[in-house]
């Protein structure tokens, strides 16, 4: 009688298989009834012949390798960057071609409109009248002739009170002249365009430097006839003067800005000490 010494059920399933998958078992038995013991092994696994005949396996398991998390994050970042770059470069290029197309369409439309509005060429028998010649006149500065009776002439009035001097911080040996105010009286019958030039010097000033213009005044609109205008020159350079024991001569020369002809002058001596 065959005696089974060991009867083990060997589970050959993979851990990833489902629970209801059929088990492959193997049974080992030893028969000791004869002089020579016989060992027999039985199994429910399919034979090689069945495998060669193409008997399909009950389950096919495909293992997908795990991708590290860091590679997934990097791939996501690269996808976002590529999308942003695409949007960044796509919009300017699209705008360029669209704007070029609009400009081209406008030029074509303007050209067609010009062709439609262009008068037809006259025939050989048609006499084309010659347009009259037009003379171009240069309009000079406005010169208004007034009907009011003026006394005539242009005068200049400069007073000591019109000279504004200021002390210099930290210096007792010098002062500055910051402004010069005077009156221009136009008693002519037309607008006068003044050009007033300012000169300042003393007895110690060299002759060449006495003719140096330290400031000027011009009025494009001009001074109307029979009126006077109070003028102040504040842009004076240089405006600092030493030798305070010597009087400073402040001189205004008035010219006609239209003709650069000298009109009149006035001067005062100022004690800055």
Beta bridge partners of 164: 179
Asked if the structure places residue 146 within a domain, the reply is no
Asked if the structure places residue 62 within a domain, the reply is no
CA separation for the pair 159, 266 (Å, rounded)? 9
- Confidence band of 14 (pLDDT split at 50, 70, 90): very low
Do residues 199 and 210 touch, judged by C-beta distance below 8 A?
A: yes
Domain total in the chain: 2
Question: What pLDDT score does 205 carry?
Answer: 87
Tens digit of pLDDT for each residue in 170-197?
888 899 999 999 999 999 999 999 999 9
CA separation for the pair 50, 55 (Å, rounded)? 6
Please list, residue by residue across 208-225, b when 16 or more beta carbons sit within 10 angstroms of its beta carbon and e when fewer do: eeeeeebbebebeebbbb
Asked if the structure places residue 251 within a domain, the reply is yes
| Exposed/middle/buried for residue 198 (C-beta within 10 Å: 0-12, 13-18, 19+) | buried
- Confidence band of 1 (pLDDT split at 50, 70, 90): very low
What average pLDDT does range 247-261 have in this prediction?
94
Asked if the structure places residue 254 within a domain, the reply is yes
Question: What pLDDT score does 73 carry?
Answer: 84
Asked if the structure places residue 163 within a domain, the reply is yes
Tens digit of pLDDT for each residue in 2-11?
444 444 444 4
Q: Which two tokens stand for residue 56?
A: 């399909």
Domain of 158? Answer: 154-270
Asked if the structure places residue 95 within a domain, the reply is no
Taking the whole predicted model, whether its pTM rises above 0.95 is answered as no
Q: What CATH number has the domain bearing residue 241?
A: 2.60.40.10
């Amino acid at each position: 009688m065959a005696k089974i010494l060991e009867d083990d059920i060997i589970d050959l399933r993979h851990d990833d298989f489902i629970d209801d998958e059929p088990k492959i078992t193997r049974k080992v038995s030893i028969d000791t009834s004869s002089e020579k013991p016989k060992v027999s092994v039985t199994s429910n696994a399919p034979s090689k012949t069945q495998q060669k005949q193409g008997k399909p396996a009950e389950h096919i398991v495909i293992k997908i390798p795990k991708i590290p998390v860091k590679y997934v994050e990097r791939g996501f970042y690269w996808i976002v960057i590529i999308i942003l770059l695409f949007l960044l470069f796509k919009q300017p290029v699209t705008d360029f071609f669209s704007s070029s197309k609009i400009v081209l369409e406008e030029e074509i439309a303007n050209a067609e409109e010009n062709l439609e509005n262009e008068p037809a060429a006259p025939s050989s028998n048609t006499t084309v009248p010659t347009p009259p010649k037009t003379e171009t006149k240069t309009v000079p500065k406005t010169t208004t002739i007034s009907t009011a009776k003026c006394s005539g002439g242009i005068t200049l009035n400069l007073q000591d009170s019109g000279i504004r001097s200021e002390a210099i911080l930290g210096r007792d040996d010098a002062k500055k002249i910051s402004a010069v105010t005077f009156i221009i009286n136009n008693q002519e019958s037309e607008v006068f365009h003044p050009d007033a030039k300012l000169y300042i010097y003393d007895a110690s000033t060299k002759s060449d430097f006495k003719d140096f213009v330290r400031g000027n005044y011009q009025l494009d609109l001009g001074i109307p006839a029979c009126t006077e205008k109070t003028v102040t020159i504040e842009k004076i350079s240089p405006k600092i003067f030493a030798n305070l024991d010597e009087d400073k001569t402040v001189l205004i020369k008035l010219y006609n800005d239209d003709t650069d002809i000298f009109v009149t002058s006035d001067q005062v001596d100022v004690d800055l000490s």
